Structure 1
Amino acid sequence: MQIFLTSPRELIASAWRNRSLIVAMTKREVSGRYRGSTLGMLWSLFNPILMLAIYTFVFSVIFKARWNTSSESKTEFALMLFAGLIVFNLFSECISRSPNLILGNTNYVKKVVFPLEILPWVTLGAALFHFTISLGVWLIAYLILVGSLHITTFLLPLVIVPLLFLTLGLAWFLASLGVFLRDVSQIIGVLISILMFMSPIFYPVTALPEQYRGLIESNPLTPAIEGTRKILFLGDVPDWSQIGSFTFVSLIVCWLGFTWFQKTRKGFADVL
């Protein structure tokens, strides 16, 4: 019987051993999504711009939403909103697809030599591609509409990397759970929609009544979203204690998700 290791060292070692395969499958994942479309890869650029325009119009024009800053311009609102939205989209793209990762690749399950644990890495890689495109759009828009970028922009990985570990851990857990409980994908779709409005994307945490701030601050996406805004738009350093706690929790979730996946993968073939 094959033994699947669950140590933190194996988590990293598996990704390193299969790095070429992960890169190849990520490229195929990204290109395959737009294969056959007239605009091709340009959709990865148009989609975030279109959603930004819609959300900005709805919240800043119809609902008159504003940020607690000196400026009340729609340009500022759009940039603040977009900064939060690209972080959320990175998370939601991976999580929403995770329950069907094994179900959509049943041919790999029968292959004993195929490293199933890399599938969440592939999904994360594709989401990172779209995140990078959206971030590039944001940076160009800021340069055009506001001016030079803040030096704190280089601190962005300190906020995003913990989010990647958190996302990866949840992806492993959901990929496994989706094999045994087919309703997971439907449940996750609903939870992602709820999480969008329970995250400080369209509003700052300070805009909420005091009794509700604890609920939003307990959201695992809040440190990443708020930290990204501070770094990119305000030019401030993130809350180091918050980022430290976020990183610790993310690493624990990542390892637990990997352990769960390795422990349960033996039953995939029987279910499928």
Structure 2
Amino acid sequence: MAQKQSGSLLKLGRTLMNNRDLIAGLSRREIEIRYRGATMGVLWALFNPMIMLGVYTFFFTEVLRSKWQGIEQQSSLDFSLVLFPGLLVFTFFSECVAKAPTLILTNQSYVKKIVFPLELLPIINLISAFFHALIGFVIWIVFYLVIKGGLHATVPLVVFPLIPLGILTLGICWILSALGTYVRDITHIVTGLLAALMFLAPIFYPITALPERYRGAIMLNPISVAVEQVRALLYHGTMIDWKQWFIYLAVSLVVASIGLWVFQRARAGFADVL
């Protein structure tokens, strides 16, 4: 009989502390596997966001000749500078969520052969995605320094919107990894939803560019608050709305609690369906 697992975030904290070396080792392994066999290895983690930044810069400034509403005296590169933070947030979120439905399916040995805290798998996935996001942020900072010559004092505060984003992403991943083990179609549904979420978040446009009646709905997108706050801190140099941040954090904690509860209740049947 499967041992009943706790769905408490507080007990999860103790699990994290007790397994911190395991988490560090598996996270490093997850990153290394991604680049194993590649000639340049982990350097691709550096080149990929640079390539993405270059492509978006060319496409939006030279092909579409886009301008970001609300920014006066824009250079040809300003659109890319203001666009890229939102893309980094979405890429982090989508990398975690896209893999979530198959996390248990691709780690069957942990379910069948050994005693393993399966709830750590989404966390390891999150750390791997954060590693790539961090490199992207570093590249943006270097790019901004080259273009603008200095950074806003609010840049170090970018960690704050990433905290509730990470917690919310974990909650969603726990739910999707549990459901995806039983319903294999979840993977295809998630792929379609992620494509929609990218355009239904203020990534390619500021929220102020939308009519007032649509803004509330757009901000319900799980990444919209993070996109707006990261952009405010990095590019505009303005302080985030702390009331909005606390609401975002509270919602994230609720979703994470529900997600962990669902995962721990569903895990008893994982071995039977694999």
Same fold (TM over 0.5): yes
Alignment partners' CA distance in 2, 1:8 and 1:222: 25
Amino acid at match of 1:130: H
Alignment partners' CA distance in 2, 1:244 and 1:15: 24
* 1:129 aligns to 2:131 (yes or no): yes
Alignment partners' CA distance in 1, 2:193 and 2:76: 29
Alignment partners' CA distance in 1, 2:196 and 2:255: 21
> Does the 8 A contact of 1:223 with 1:246 survive in 2?
yes
Q: Partner of 1:167 in structure 2? A: 169
1:206-226 residue CA offsets vs partner (Å, 9 max, x unmatched): 112223222212212111011
Q: What is the deviation of 1:60? A: 3.5
Q: Partner of 2:152 in structure 1? A: 150
Q: Partner of 2:272 in structure 1? A: 270
1:173-203 residue CA offsets vs partner (Å, 9 max, x unmatched): 1111000000111111111111111111111
Amino acid at match of 1:14: T
Amino acid at match of 1:248: A
> What is the DSSP-based 3-state SS (H/G/I as helix, E as strand, rest coil) of the residue aligned with 1:72?
coil
* 1:213 aligns to 2:215 (yes or no): yes
Alignment counterpart, residue 225 of structure 1, candidates 221, 224, 227: 227
Q: What is the deviation of 1:119? A: 0.3
* 1:255 aligns to 2:257 (yes or no): yes
Q: What is the deviation of 1:112? A: 4.9
> Does the 8 A contact of 1:18 with 1:118 survive in 2?
no
Q: Which runs of 5+ in 2 are unaligned?
A: none
Give 1:30-49 correspondences, 5 Å limit: 30-49=31-50
Amino acid at match of 1:226: E
1:60-95 residue CA offsets vs partner (Å, 9 max, x unmatched): 433333211113222111111111111111111000
Alignment partners' CA distance in 2, 1:221 and 1:174: 17
Bigger CA drift: 244-253 or 10-19?
10-19
* 1:16 aligns to 2:17 (yes or no): yes
Amino acid at match of 2:57: T
Q: Give the TM-score normalised by the residue count of structure 2.
A: 0.96
> Does the 8 A contact of 1:22 with 1:122 survive in 2?
yes
> Does the 8 A contact of 1:59 with 1:202 survive in 2?
no
> What is the DSSP-based 3-state SS (H/G/I as helix, E as strand, rest coil) of the residue aligned with 1:38?
coil
> What is the DSSP-based 3-state SS (H/G/I as helix, E as strand, rest coil) of the residue aligned with 1:3?
coil
* 1:237 aligns to 2:239 (yes or no): yes
Q: Partner of 2:7 in structure 1? A: 6
Change (3 A) 1:65 1:207: farther
Q: Give the TM-score normalised by the residue count of structure 1.
A: 0.96
Q: What is the deviation of 1:6? A: 1.3
1:77-126 residue CA offsets vs partner (Å, 9 max, x unmatched): 11111111111111110000000000001111113521111100110010
> Does the 8 A contact of 1:56 with 1:81 survive in 2?
no
1:18-38 residue CA offsets vs partner (Å, 9 max, x unmatched): 111111001001011001111
Alignment partners' CA distance in 2, 1:152 and 1:54: 27
> What is the DSSP-based 3-state SS (H/G/I as helix, E as strand, rest coil) of the residue aligned with 1:232?
helix
Alignment partners' CA distance in 1, 2:239 and 2:41: 37
Q: What is the deviation of 1:55? A: 2.6
> Does the 8 A contact of 2:60 with 2:80 survive in 1?
no
Alignment partners' CA distance in 2, 1:181 and 1:258: 18
Alignment partners' CA distance in 2, 1:74 and 1:248: 39
Alignment partners' CA distance in 2, 1:257 and 1:4: 13
Amino acid at match of 2:216: G
Q: Partner of 1:177 in structure 2? A: 179
1:139-192 residue CA offsets vs partner (Å, 9 max, x unmatched): 111111112211111211111111000001111111110000001111111111
> Does the 8 A contact of 1:170 with 1:257 survive in 2?
yes
* 1:52 aligns to 2:53 (yes or no): yes
> Does the 8 A contact of 1:177 with 1:184 survive in 2?
yes
The number of residue pairs the alignment matches comes to 272
Q: What is the deviation of 1:58? A: 3.0
> Does the 8 A contact of 2:61 with 2:77 survive in 1?
no
Q: Partner of 2:85 in structure 1? A: 83
